[in-house]
Structure 1
Amino acid sequence: MIPGTVWGATEAEREAPLPCDDRQPGGLQADRAISVDAPPTLVYAWLCQLRVAPYSYDLLDNFGKRSPRRRDPMLTELVVGQRFMSQFELVSFVLGRHITLVSGKVCVTYAVRPEGTGTRLLVRIRCGAPRLVAVTLALGDLLMMRKQLLTLKELAEAEYHTAPADSPGPPER
């Protein structure tokens, strides 16, 4: 396994097909995954927030502007061609299931899967750049994507666990 190509993803998750595989066949594949204690619909809604901010190291990848900590429900209204994180274009999506983004020779699918009472958030990057460039990008992406996934997990779980009693919040435990 090439360093930087896997973080949190199981072997089964690395082998499962995702939409980015067809859009950018071949090249380097990098998989990231994290479990989130919130329902898939809420995790997906937080993924849609990537339209306006990267949710990673804001000083580095958002010009120092803090990624929003409150979710905008209007951002779940997706249309192919929309911009995400300023540099990616939405090329496909299935509401509540996945979004697939492209920027140059990089294609990324973010997918949500039910996992017990929560969600498994999977991300696959396919990079068609020359191998040395792709490996270098994967190493840098590992740092940024890890932070992004941890931030999205934190925000989704915080919203889920603090939902008012009259809204669909956490189940009785």
Structure 2
Amino acid sequence: MIPGLVWGATAAEREDPLPCDELQPEGVQADRAISIDAPYGLVYAWLCQLRVAPYSYDILDRWGRPSPRRRDPQLAELEVGQRFMGQFELVSFVLSDHITLVTGKICVTYAVRPEGAGTRLVVRVRMGGPRIIGRLLALGDLVMMRKQLLTLKELAEAEDRAEPQDEFELRQ
């Protein structure tokens, strides 16, 4: 397996079709996944926070300004065409299921799946253009996205422990 193309994703998750596959079918595929001990509705709500910050290495992404640590419920009001992380455009979404973003020849789908009492967050990045460039981008993406997914995990789990949630709201 080529370094940088997989982090945490199972073989089944790597084979499962996601919306970004149709948008960049010939692109280099990189899969990332993480289990989160929080309801999938809450994890999805945290994905919507990517509209305002990447939740990765703030020193690189935000010139040292910290990504918000409190979730803004208004950011969960999605519309195709919205900006995410400053450079991506929201091209499709299904509430409490997935968001798909595009910038240039890079397409990414973040998908939430129930896993026991928690959530499995599966992310696929498809990078078009020359394959060697896609593989190099996948290495850099691995570093940044690993931090992003660990941060989202930390924030969702902390919120789930801190506040009783309306079960109906979070499962939608």
State whether TM-score is above 0.5.
yes
Structure 2 residue 63 is matched with structure 1 residue 63: yes
Aligned equivalents of 2:73, 2:139: Cα separation in 1: 33
Cα distance in 1 for partners of 2:130, 2:22 equals: 18
2:166 corresponding residue in structure 1: 168
The equivalent of 2:12 in structure 1 is: 12
**1:1-173 correspondence runs (5 A):** 1-164=1-164, 167-168=165-166
Taking only aligned residues, the RMSD between alpha carbons, in angstroms, comes to 0.9
Shift, 1:158, TM fit: 0.1
Q: What is the SS of the residue equivalent to 2:29?
A: strand
The one-letter code of the counterpart of 2:114 is: P
Q: Residue 168 of structure 1: CA displacement?
A: 3.2
Cα distance, 1:132 vs structure 2? 1.4
Supply the distance in 2 between the matched residues of 1:62 and 1:47 (Cα, whole angstroms).
18
CA distance in 1, matches of 2:27, 2:90: 20
CA–CA separation in structure 2 for the residues paired with 1:50 and 1:63: 16
The alignment-based identity, stated in percent, is: 75
Give, as a single letter, the amino acid of the residue that structure 1 aligns with 2:121. Answer: L
Q: Could you tell me how far apart the structure 1 residues matched to 2:92 and 2:65 are?
A: 28
1:25-50 CA-to-partner distances (Å, cap 9, x unmatched) read: 01200000000000000000000000
1:120-164 Cα offsets, whole Å, 9 max, x none, are 000000001211111110000000000000000000000001114
TM-score for the superposition, normalised by structure 1: 0.95
SS at structure 2 position matched to 1:35: strand
What is the CA–CA distance in structure 1 between the aligned matches of 2:50 and 2:62, rounded to whole Å? 11
Question: Which amino acid letter does the alignment assign opposite residue 30 of structure 1?
Answer: A
How far off its partner does 1:67 sit?
Answer: 0.2
- What TM-score does the superposition give when structure 2 sets the normalisation length? 0.95
Gaps of 5+ in 2: 168-172
Flag structure 1 segments of 5+ consecutive residues without an equivalent: none
Aligned residues: 167
